[in-house]
Amino acid sequence: MTDLNDTDIQLEFVFEGNLILKGIINRIYAPLIVEEIKSRLPFEGRTALMRGEMKITLGISKGNAKPTNEVKKADIAYQPLGDSLDIYLSDKQTFSQVNVIGRIISDESDLDALTQVRRGSLVTIRLAK
């Protein structure tokens, strides 16, 4: 179990087909983006697996906070260009700058199962129980 602090927000990503990933986002990384996401929970989005990243359209239209092009496997990042929350399936350089705001804390096998999620599938993002 990951040690939590008071700036961590635990999330569940519930994908069609009953795949559930647990993640943590942290206000310290990008306070305005994280608070906007938290204020909309729970919400539904559509998925798209592209270039080793699971994209979930958000519709919050925020800019960059601490932008980077370097991400690690299991990172959760907000991508302003596509207005999406992205979950990365490998370490990589991103095409456009992203704001890493957290990590998936589920088992690696669950993370790898994202490759089986069909494009356009529904995902619900909610506070973890």
Structural domains in the chain, CATH included, are 8-127 (2.40.100.20)
Quick one: pLDDT at residue 3? 54
88: exposed, middle or buried (Cβ count in 10 Å: 0-12, 13-18, 19+): buried
Q: Strands 68-71 and 84-88: what pairing? A: unpaired
Q: Mind listing the pLDDT tens digit for each residue in 10-62?
A: 999 999 988 999 999 999 989 999 999 999 999 999 999 998 999 999 988 88
The H or E element that residue 32 is part of is: helix 31-40
Q: Whole-angstrom Cα distance, residue 74 to residue 77?
A: 10
The torsion angles phi and psi of 39, rounded to 5 degrees, stand at -65, -20
Quick one: pLDDT at residue 24? 97
Q: Whole-angstrom Cα distance, residue 14 to residue 20?
A: 5
Q: Mind listing the pLDDT tens digit for each residue in 104-115?
A: 999 999 999 999
Q: Mind listing the pLDDT tens digit for each residue in 75-125?
A: 999 999 989 999 999 999 999 999 999 999 999 999 999 999 999 999 999
Mean pLDDT, the chain, rounded, equals 92
Q: Whole-angstrom Cα distance, residue 3 to residue 113?
A: 25
